[in-house]
Amino acid sequence: MLNLIDYNGLFLYIKHMSREFLEFEKDLANIHKDIRKLKEIKNADDQTIEQLNQLQKQYREKQSKIYQSLSPWETLQVARHPNRPHGIDFVHHLFHDIDELHGDRQSKDCGAVVCGIARLEHQPIVFIAQEKGRELKDKINRNWGMMSPEGFRKTNRMLDLAEKFQLPVISIIDTPGAYPGIEAESSNQSAAIALNLSKMSSLKTPIIVMITGEGCSGGALGVGIGDYIMMLQYATFSVISPEGCASILWRDAKKGPIASEKMCITADALLQRKIIDEVIVEPIGGAHENWQQTFDTCQLKIKEQLTHLSKIKMDKLLENRYKKIMLD
């Protein structure tokens, strides 16, 4: 079972994380610094309060203007933001009565993916959530969100469980890709991903996929087949990272921003091409600006789709899923 005490401690740590600003947010960082200085003044007079209000208004206006015209590369930086909610955060805020299940029944567990059963209000569900980790030790234990073959085999167990008990599956994606190390390859990484693709393609229960951060390569696709695919506004979804693409094409990872312009990695671009079904609007400034608003919106969207999918006959559901995979 997920240790709620441990998570509450982690959540307390997250709440006190310093606000980090991205390269394109430099102007916001300066305003934020001035706002913090004014907030630290005790017994502030009317003039100070008025100045604070003006700075906060200026901050919101500038932030809104910046986020209205993000480039694909800038969107990727938001998707990777260190303050952005991770998979385990979504699990704890969307679901209750959580029971985490471990291991692949063959060799070991994989910390890069958190799986189990839970309830979404009164509806029992199976959840699959990729997790990158927060602090260094946690990131190492979770391999920065890069799933091993054991992780894919663990999710395959969860899919079997979901089908056996007719539980809908909620898959939450946030990964830089499947683990590419020698150990993973020797444990048959490609076959583990392929088995998941096959299983999810024909699973006789509804599957909802939600891309919350960075959805990259086989690590994302291996848990990314579903009846309804939704994506947060500033998340990304691609067959390879822009840096990886640039390394292959030009042998220079620094050309990642150029590659990102051609790869159609953003939610709007993918919706236009019918790769995904819905874009979930984030708070201005990204999901990390208002976690609770993000969780509330995502929970509502998932409940809406579960209600809709539960009314579709299984033969039709599988037919529609096949058409989606084939882009028919």
Q: Tell me, yes or no, whether 83 and 224 share the same domain.
A: yes
Identify the pLDDT of residue 171: 98
Question: Where does a domain end: 69, 93, 125?
Answer: 69
* CATH number for the domain that contains residue 238: 3.90.226.10
Q: What average pLDDT score do residues 167-190 get? A: 96
Same domain, residue pair 109 and 42: no
Phi-psi region of 96 (alpha: psi -120 to 50; beta: other; left: phi over 0): beta
Whether 145 and 281 map to the same domain: the answer is yes
Per-residue model confidence (pLDDT) at position 326: 86
The per-residue pLDDT for range 197-209, each reduced to its tens digit, is 999 999 999 999 9
Q: What local confidence, expressed as pLDDT, does residue 44 receive?
A: 84
Considering the domain boundaries, does residue 13 fall inside one? no
Q: Is residue 16 part of a domain?
A: no
Q: Which residues contact 231 (CB under 8 A, 6 or more apart)?
A: 210, 211, 215, 237, 267, 270, 271, 276, 278, 279, 280
Q: Which uninterrupted H or E stretch holds 248?
A: helix 242-250
d(CA 316, CA 328): 15
* Averaged pLDDT, 109-134: 97
Instruction: With beta carbons less than 8 A apart as the criterion, state whether 113 and 102 touch.
Output: no
The CA distance from 145 to 132, in Å, is: 4
Instruction: State pLDDT tens for residues 2-42.
Output: 454 465 555 545 555 778 999 999 999 999 999 999 988 88
**pLDDT mean over 48-52:** 92
> What is the three-class DSSP state of 70?
coil
In a domain, 14, yes or no: no
For 127, the 3-state DSSP assignment is: strand
Percent of residues, the chain, with pLDDT higher than 90: 90
Is 56 in the same domain as 192?
no
In terms of domains, do 107 and 251 share one?
yes
Distance in angstroms (rounded) separating the CA atoms of residues 49 and 108: 57
The model's pLDDT over 270-325, given as tens digits with 9 standing for 90+, comes to 999 999 999 999 999 999 999 999 999 999 999 999 999 999 999 999 999 999 98
SS (H, E, C) 299-318: HHHHHHHHHHHHCCCHHHHH
Boundary (domain end) residue, out of 44, 69, 94:
69
Per-residue pLDDT at 16: 58
Which has the higher per-residue pLDDT, 6 or 143?
143
* pTM metric for this prediction: 0.93
User: Does 285 fall in a domain?
Assistant: yes
Would residue 158 count as lying in a domain? Answer: yes
| 197 and 171 assigned to the same domain | yes
Q: 177 or 16: whose pLDDT is higher?
A: 177
Contact, 290 vs 283, CB < 8 A?
Answer: yes
pLDDT at 327: 78
Q: Do 60 and 89 belong to one domain?
A: no
Number of domains observed in the structure of the chain: 2
pLDDT digits (tens, 9 = 90+) for 80-89: 999 999 999 9
Q: Give the range of the structural domain holding residue 186, as residue numbers without chain letter.
A: 75-325
Tell me if residue 230 falls in helix, strand or coil: strand
Q: Is 123 helix (H, G, I), strand (E, B) or coil?
A: strand
